[in-house]
Every structure is written in structure tokens, then in C-alpha cells.
Amino acid sequence: MLKNKNQQDKPTYLLNRACEYCGEPIADQAHSSRTHCKYQINDGTIKDCKTAKARENDSEERKYFEKRKSEIKVIDKQIALMFEKKGENVNLQDLEAYDIHLDKSSELSCDKNGQFTCKYYLYSIHFNPHSLTYKIIKND
């Protein structure tokens, strides 16, 4: 009788579901919304794949923002160099020569006159798409 019941409870893995964190198979009998191992404590260690994965995602996000921040600072330094050499009014060739990417600014805004401002760390670049002129501005 007992053996029979155990056999019935035996998990099957026909649906091929696996934990999104550690890849361990998830039994077909588990709830259909389950995407991670069941939270469990084995020999005093906690196995909690859902939290572990969330933490990993957080650090990915942090890494991404760190990378963006250093990218912006590198460009900012290039702007400072260009400013020193060329003054506040520059052209597209200057931007290219100093490897300044307007699409990598931390903030891009457009005022009602159609002038763009690409904001970096210490500097911003104003861009007039009609006259194709660029002006370096020190952020306050």
C-alpha cells in the first residue's frame, strides 16, 4: 500500500523544465509557475535559487551602470582635451578626432529651438542640427 503511494508520488520530468538559476530539473508535479528550485535547507545550508538569481541580476545591472559611468568619464576627459586645444566651438571632425560619441552621453535633451544638449560628467555639448555647430559647455 505504502509502496504504491510512493510510486505515485515519484516525480517525472517529461516537461523538461529546469531551474533558471542552477539548471536542476523541476518535476512535472511542481506548480506550473515554478521557475526555480524549491527553497530548501539542507544540512544547514540554504538553497534559494530565486533570491540568488535576483542578486545576480542586480549585480549585472550595477556592472552595467559602472561601465556606463566610466565610459562617460572617459569621453568627458576627451572633451576637456578638445576644449583646451580647440576652444568652445568645434565641428564634427573635431568630435571624431577626439573620439567623442554624442550617443554615449549621460543625458540627451532637445530644447524648443531644436538644439540638442548632450550631457557628460563635467561638460556638455550643445549641438545645433541646422548649422551643424557644436559648442562645449562646462556644467555648473
Q: Is the dihedral of CA 87, 98, 115, 137 positive or negative?
A: negative
Residue from 11, 13, 15, 22 in contact with Zn ion (CB under 5 A): 22
Question: What is the helix (H) or strand (E) element at residue 112, kind and residue range?
Answer: none
Q: Counting contacts by CB under 5 A, is residue 46 touching Zn ion?
A: no
CB of 35 to Zn ion, least distance (A): 9
CB of 91 to Zn ion, least distance (A): 56
In the chain, the amino acid numbered 135 is K
Ramachandran quadrant class, 107 (left: phi over 0; alpha: psi -120 to 50; beta: rest): beta
CB of 37 to Zn ion, least distance (A): 3
| CA distance linking residue 41 with residue 46, whole number of Å | 4
CB of 125 to Zn ion, least distance (A): 48
Toward Zn ion, which CB reaches closer, 20 or 94?
A: 20
Contact 84, 77 (CB under 8 A): no
Q: Binding segment for Zn ion among 37-45, 77-85, 87-95, 112-120 (CB under 5 A)?
A: 37-45
Which residues bind to Zn ion, rule: CB under 5 A?
19, 21-22, 24, 37, 49
